[in-house]
Amino acid sequence: MSTVLLVIHLFVTLALIGVVLLQRSEGGGLGIGSSQGMGAFMSGRGTANLLTRTTAILATIFMVLSLTLALMHRTPNQGRSIFDNPPPAAPAAPAPAGTAPAAPGAGAPGGASGAGAPGDAPGGAAPGTAPAAPAAPAAPAAPAAPSVPTN
């Protein structure tokens, strides 16, 4: 059913493009059709009325087919609004291996500030306890060189 509607939609689209191109524009730009183009069958005004009505009918069919195809292919488990779905949870970025964040206000790890012995955990925390999380994420590094070569 969906394939049939999609093929009909394609034909309606091509017909709509053709009819719009046949119409005579106000400035005479791409207007292929003219009062002489239809021969003695219709006057210039009758041709314009026919093409205008045909455009309106094809545009209506195009819109109905578009909405029908959109409704047929929506997912049933999706909410009616994007506000109905909760925002996705941001995954916590793990700390790089081998680097432990220092506690705010603590000296340099390894006892450089004299706060702890060489065997103590970084930041003066007791062994076996988790180190404190950093207060703010680090700023990204600046690019090393321009990507465009300069002469």
36's tokens: 């002489």
Is residue 48 in a domain?
A: yes
Asked if 129 and 120 touch (Cβ cutoff 8 Å), the reply is no
Is residue 122 in a domain?
A: no
Is residue 110 in a domain?
A: no
Q: What is the pLDDT of residue 19?
A: 92
Is residue 61 in a domain?
A: yes
Is residue 105 in a domain?
A: no
Please count the structural domains in the chain.
1
Is residue 47 in a domain?
A: yes
Is residue 134 in a domain?
A: no
Greater confidence (20 vs 137) lies with 20
Q: What is the pLDDT of residue 29?
A: 46
Q: What is the mean pLDDT of the chain?
A: 72
Q: Range of 13's domain? A: 2-25+33-72
Mean pLDDT for 9-25 is 91
Greater confidence (105 vs 55) lies with 55
User: How open is the CA angle 56-57-58, to the nearest 5 degrees?
Assistant: 95
62-112 tens-digit pLDDT: 999 999 999 988 877 665 677 777 777 777 766 666 666 555 655 555 544
Mean pLDDT for 144-149 is 65
30-48 tens-digit pLDDT: 555 554 555 545 566 677 7
d(CA 1, CA 48): 35
Is residue 62 in a domain?
A: yes
d(CA 29, CA 21): 10
